Amino acid sequence: MALGVAVGVGFLFKYTILLLVPGLVGFGWMEWRRGRRWPRMMVGMGVGIALLGLLPVVIWNAGNGWPTVHHLFGHLGLASGDIPLKDGAGWRYEPGWTLEFVGIQAVILGPVMYLGLVGMVRALRGADAGVRRGAVYLFCCGLPIAVFYLGVTLFTEVEGNWASAAYVTLLPLAGWAAVRGLETPGRNAGRSLWRVSVVVGVLAAGLSLRLDWVSASAPMGWLNRGLVRLGVKDERPLIPAGRLVAAPMVARDAEALARELRERTGQEPFYIVEHYGRASLLAFYIEGHPTVYCSSSLMDEGRKTQYDYWAETDLRSAVVQAELEGRPAVCLGKTRERWEEAFERVEEVGKLAHEPKKDRLAFLGYGYRGFGYLVPARGPAGAGAPKR
């Protein structure tokens, strides 16, 4: 029953917890084969409690056209996803996706991952039955998560941190192997890997404080260019330092533009961003935590986001439209033409000083009128024709 509560509540926080279930079922089946039995009523109650945690998400999705499902399918590049397929393209696979994922896991964990494997082997070979059972349980919990995201690399590029939940139960195996290695006299794999992991951990902790320096260093540049030439990855840097350290500085840049607009117009400006990730970061880092609006679903091939479902940020809402109409705004992302559809006048600022994305520009919008406003199309062929 406690397990049912953990899975049900965990699902409300992060869907990834469902990947724990296959491992639990697998371990339960192995225990059943060994003669261990659990009362059916208790198992049924645990499953029922877990399913209760799924209900709020299922009910909300059913009432809103299953946006979560379409969003996840969009990540996989499937036809039923919320990202339109370009030129009718279907499933495609790039070997670099898998190689990059495996390589990042090895770099992130380093010797700790190998310590976990050593611990698993030692538990299966020489430990008592209780330790073997515990090791198998921990391995069963973590393995499905790692395998799942390895499978996702067959469809799309996977971020290195997506599989981090797999190591929650594998780290105790690494710790056990390290302790056993330190207790065993003489030279052994556990002792050597433990020493290396301490050095790697200290270095990683220090370097992580200035990942922008690491990303811009000459060795990282050489490695990145080499991988690009081999066709393993694109030109983006190996370490997305901007995504990890630039948000507070981008927020300061946006605040400076807002002050400029306030002085020019005498009105209170607002912030509107094309990408939901940047919108949430600005809402967090800008002083006073203002409401930031996301225009993703109203622009070219944009995706619907949670901003479209919250009443206070839904740009299609008449209430929001009335609140923002006529006001100036700091706009981030897309092109000038797209912002001109929603404002009476738009001024291009260019890339913010600390913006990590090369193609993400900033604009000043004057006189918001909404994305449903009709304006004349540009160019001789479309002169006088309405354009949405």
Query: Domain segments of the chain: what residues?
Result: 1-92, 93-244, 246-379
Model confidence, pTM: 0.72
Residues belonging to the chain: 388
Q: What is the mean pLDDT of each run of 10 residues along the chain (388 residues)?
A: 93 91 91 83 91 92 87 72 62 81 82 81 80 89 91 85 87 84 77 83 82 78 79 69 79 94 94 92 94 88 83 91 94 88 92 82 93 48 34
Q: What is the pLDDT of residue 57?
A: 92
User: What was the pLDDT predicted at 83?
Assistant: 67
Q: What is the pLDDT of residues 84-138, one digit of tens each?
A: 666 555 667 888 888 888 888 887 777 888 888 888 887 787 778 888 888 899 9
The DSSP bridge partners found for residue 346 are 365
Could you tell me the sign of the dihedral formed by the alpha carbons of 351, 357, 360, 362, in that order?
negative
Q: Which residue has the tokens 């697998």?
A: 26
Within its chain, how far is the Cα of 328 from the centroid?
31
Q: How many C-beta atoms surround the C-beta of residue 31 within 10 A?
A: 15
The confidence score (pLDDT) of residue 337 equals 87
Do 207 and 194 meet the contact criterion of CB atoms below 8 Å apart?
Answer: no
User: What is the CB neighbour count within 10 angstroms for residue 286?
Assistant: 19
H helix and E strand count, the chain:
16, 7
Q: Which helix (H) or strand (E) holds 150?
A: helix 129-152
How much is the pLDDT for 203? Answer: 85
Token output for 152: 């996702």
User: Per residue in 173-230, pLDDT tens?
Assistant: 888 888 888 877 777 777 888 888 888 888 888 887 877 777 778 887 888 788 778 7
336: CB partners within 8 A, 6+ apart: 346, 348, 361, 363
Q: CB 222: neighbour CB atoms within 10 A?
A: 10
For residue 386, report the phi and psi dihedrals to the nearest 5 degrees: -70, 145
- From start to end of the chain, where are the E strands? 270-273, 292-294, 329-332, 343-350, 362-368, 375-376, 386-387
Asked whether 342 and 325 are in contact (CB, 8 A), the reply is no
Q: Which CA distances in Å does 85 have to 89, 170, 237?
A: 6, 38, 26
CB neighbours of residue 191 within 10 Å: 18
